[in-house]
Amino acid sequence: MPDEPDPSPVNTAWAQRIALAVLGLGLAVLGAYILQGFLRALAWGVIFALAVWPLYCRARRGWSVRGHDILLPAVFTLAVTLVFLVPLVVVGIEIGREGASVVRLVLEYQRTGIPLPAFVRNLPVGHQALADWWQANLSDPASLSSLVGRINRDQVLAYSESVGTRVLHRGVTSVFTLLALFFLLRDGDTINAQMHRAVTRSFGVRGAIMCAQATASVRATVDGLVLVGIGEGIVIGIGYWLAGVPHPTLFGGLTAVAAMVPFGAPLVFGVASLILVFQGSLVAAVVLLALGMVVTFVADHFIRPVIIGGATQLPFLWVLLGILGGVEAFGIIGLFVGPVVMSVLIQLWRDWVGDRVAS
């Protein structure tokens, strides 16, 4: 019998490529499964690395100490820890400590009723009707309990006091984020060159442009959301302290977190203003509310659009939709994922429309 012809070299090459692609995809899925408990920490490490990379490169150019491939990444990792992670842990512990006292106050009000604020009697109009409603619904413990519902004391206290413990647990998890950040900074040039070659080979020059756009979106989002939100929390937190809001650290930390989402801070300083009203400090409540509105208006309408929209070349509406949709889909890390996805999609749309128009 005659020997069967050898398979075509072209067919053999394609078969090998397909097999290699299937093998690579399978190993990627297996690797993701193995690392699933650390993927969020790795993602945060990438976000921090992208955010500080320009500063790191600038510092490296002026760094004259030997062994900078270890010492300088360690310095930047420590700086990120001090600027971002340590304040979050401290605020979380304070929230856990003060949150318990707030719950105890609510439970005490449920038992004794909320006393009528002194300012109600000094209102020029409607003071009697408001006082009667207050006495009937808030000063009477039975009416107040039916209004706000029953609160399980043990469960609520246990939950509030566990907040600090949960934050400490997150702090332990963040150690892996810091390790990832250190190695990403140390080997950043190599990783960047490899990623550039991989993206260019897979998607061409436009793929490299999209990758650069995504990187710019992450940096702009960190500056526009996290740093601006922390700034809002500090400024309004000082207002809490000056106005006499109880537990100003608690409210300041909540304001900083809420301010990372556009238009989220008014929910917190609005509640703080109501507390001041209930305490009889009407003027302080109005001043605090005005301060909060001014700070958030400037941050959300001037600072953030310039920082995020300018770097990502996105209209602020798409930035806002990306942020809110990302948070709803992925949690807090969606603050960064959402704008990146919107930025790349808009860039793809602009390239597509440009090609059609040009042709």
Tell me the C-alpha distance between 346 and 159, whole Å: 43
Q: What pLDDT, on the 0 to 100 scale, is given for residue 357? A: 39
Cut 0.75: pTM above it = no
Q: What are the pLDDT digits (tens) for 247-290?
A: 787 788 888 888 887 778 898 999 899 888 877 788 888 999 99
User: Residue 231, exposed/middle/buried by CB under 10 A (0-12, 13-18, 19+)?
Assistant: middle
Tell me the C-alpha distance between 290 and 303, whole Å: 19
Q: What pLDDT, on the 0 to 100 scale, is given for residue 358? A: 39
Q: What is the mean pLDDT of residues 72-82?
A: 87
Among 53-57, 118-122, 180-184, the least confident range: 118-122
User: Residue 330, exposed/middle/buried by CB under 10 A (0-12, 13-18, 19+)?
Assistant: middle
Q: What pLDDT, on the 0 to 100 scale, is given for residue 295? A: 92
Residue 101 pLDDT > 70, yes or no? no
Domain ranges of the chain: 38-187, 202-350
Spatial neighbors of 226 by CB under 8 A, at least 6 apart, are 84, 260, 335
Give φ, ψ of 130 to 5 degrees.
-65, -40
